[in-house]
Amino acid sequence: MLTGLSIRNVVLIETLDLEFGAGLTALTGETGAGKSIILDALGMATGARSDRGLVRSGTEKAQCIAGFTLSNSVAKLLEAHDIDVDPNEDLTLRRSLTKDGRSKAFINDQAVSAKLLSKVGGLLLEVHGQHDGRGLLDPSTHIHLLDLFGGHQTFLARCEAAYKERRETQAQVDALIALQAKAVEDRDFLEHAIAELDRLAPNSGEDVQLAEERRFLQGAEGALTELTAAQDALGEDGAFEARLSSALAGIERLRTKFGDAQSNAAKALNSAAQALERAMLETQEAREAVSLAAQSFNVEPGRLDETEKRLFALRAAARKYDCDIDALIEARSKFAGELTAIDNSDMDLSKAKAAAVKAKETYDKAAFALGKAREKSAKTLDKAVMRELPPLKMEQAQFLSHIEPCPESALGIDKVRFQVSTNPGTAMGPLDKIASGGEMARFALAIKVALAGKNDAVMVFDEVDQGVGGAVADSVGKRLARLSKSAQVFVVTHSPQVAAAADHQYRIEKSSTGMTTTTHVSLVADDAREEEIARMLAGETITQEARAAARQLMAS
């Protein structure tokens, strides 16, 4: 349900805030007062094509906001696009348009694309008339209306699921055929790559180890030279210890002479002897440590060349297969899997083709069943619409739900387009091409009456009373009222009979002050309602007879 509409700076409307109720709402007023502006503003808010001509002269930007109660279909669509909605609150659609043609769209104050706004608006609102490209003027909606009338949801679900399976299995067949087409070239590459990586046999983290070892080996020769010099300095032949031993022997002889004395000299001799003993011991330890260090740098000849050769081979392979060295193992596994897939492709292709054939059979069966259901429902819909046409002054008109084959899709293999003939002897043709504005609206009314209760979109009928009056207009009003029992309906009308059938009525009028013209909209209620319908009956001079006729219309 459309709960409210706010308009700012749209053509002749400066500021307008409206609230709407359930049932049938009539928009009335003199020709040129601005009724079409209300529809343009509503279309702008719900994603219809809008141009900068809607921006009120002298202003920078037009804006329209429409509030709707949330339907299940819209809630699912918005959830799929990550738009937050509260089922207990109205849904707000907002669109702004600048005078240079730039447009912005919002749903619940969240910026969205114009395409999404239009899609949501299409689920919430149907406009039937010659001034809007939605509704019956869009032939792509006809198949959905027929399916809605026939209650084909189960058939559609089966067909959609079968179509998805059909596409997936056929895609698998196509992929395997493509794989086989390049199998010869790929096989040579994969076999060579696998053999090369098997010979290389890389290990995880090996390149880091090799790089460290290479740095060590590159410095090992210089280190060994330094350690050899250290060994020479320590005297490997024992000459250094011999000199220390000779010195210690001399100290010991002195200690023999002066060792019992408590003089400072004796203490000094003891310290010297101890130091020489430590020196002899630490010299031996130093010689052993330097020798051990020298052994660690004594690498086998050619080890540096071998290390570099291995490291460079790993790096070359990584460049060749466009990956890190650690990923070479995964690359080998991937190549092996692709080779296995090629080896198994014949068997896999055979299985895939069998699955595709089965999926095709399932889809054909589902599409055929859906098509048969549509044929049956089309006949029933045609009869229901034809019953509604004579009371709408279209007794000579014909209506046909034309079904013809079309390429496979999730909707089956049928193309549905409503065809009409508006005069005796004229050939049937597409509804959107043949019918005039008023006829289009009345065909839409007849179809919607036949579909009563089957959808929850708000319906707007523009010029449904064009070219009719009296009993026919009364019939139009009654059908709109009947339709409004199961859905909210708006009608733009000049007919007092149609306006009298409404639950709510808004009068649209314009006024001029100097060079400025403004459109105003006001709710007509209670006694003013009778007076407005009397005005629609009588014109400028409202007579008592017109008032009485208005009361009678409102009471009927």
Q: Determine the Cα–Cα distance for residues 76 and 99; give it in Å rounded to an integer.
A: 34
Query: What dihedral do alpha carbons 465, 468, 470, 474 form, nearest 10°?
Result: -30
Q: What is the pTM of this model?
A: 0.67
Beta bridge partners of 525: none
Closest by Cα among 447, 374, 376, 360 to 415: 374
Q: For the chain, give the mean pLDDT.
A: 84
Q: What is the pLDDT of residues 173-190, one digit of tens each?
A: 998 888 777 776 787 888
Distance CA 83, CA 505 (A): 34
pLDDT at site 297: 60
pLDDT of residue 4: 95
Q: How many helices (H) and strands (E) does the chain have?
A: 18, 15
Q: What is the pLDDT of residues 220-233, one digit of tens each?
A: 555 555 556 656 66
Q: What is the pLDDT of residue 217?
A: 63
Tell me the two tokens of residue 210.
Answer: 């090799």
Distance between CA atoms of residues 341 and 189, nearest Å: 14
CA distance 1 to 19: 11
What pLDDT does residue 236 have? 61
pLDDT at 131 exceeding the cut of 60: no
pLDDT tier, 251 (very low <50, low <70, confident <90, very high otherwise)? confident
Query: If pLDDT is split at 50, 70 and 90, which confidence band does 455 have?
Result: confident
* Ranges of H-type helices in 201-323: 206-234, 239-258, 264-296, 303-320
Alpha carbons 106 and 116: distance in angstroms, whole number: 10
Give the DSSP letter of residue 297: T
Are the C-beta atoms of residues 172 and 290 closer than 8 Å to each other?
no
CA 454 to chain centre: 29
d(CA 427, CA 176): 51
Specify whether the CB–CB gap between 103 and 97 falls below 8 A.
yes
Q: What is the 3-state secondary structure (H, E, C) of 476-487?
A: HHHHHHHHCCCC
Look at the chain and count its residues. 556
Helix or strand or coil: residue 403?
strand
The burial class, CB within 10 Å (0-12 / 13-18 / 19+), for 470 is exposed
C-alpha torsion sign, points 60, 66, 70, 74 = negative
Q: Which residues pair with 399 in a beta bridge?
A: 420
Mean pLDDT, rounded, for 329-349: 82
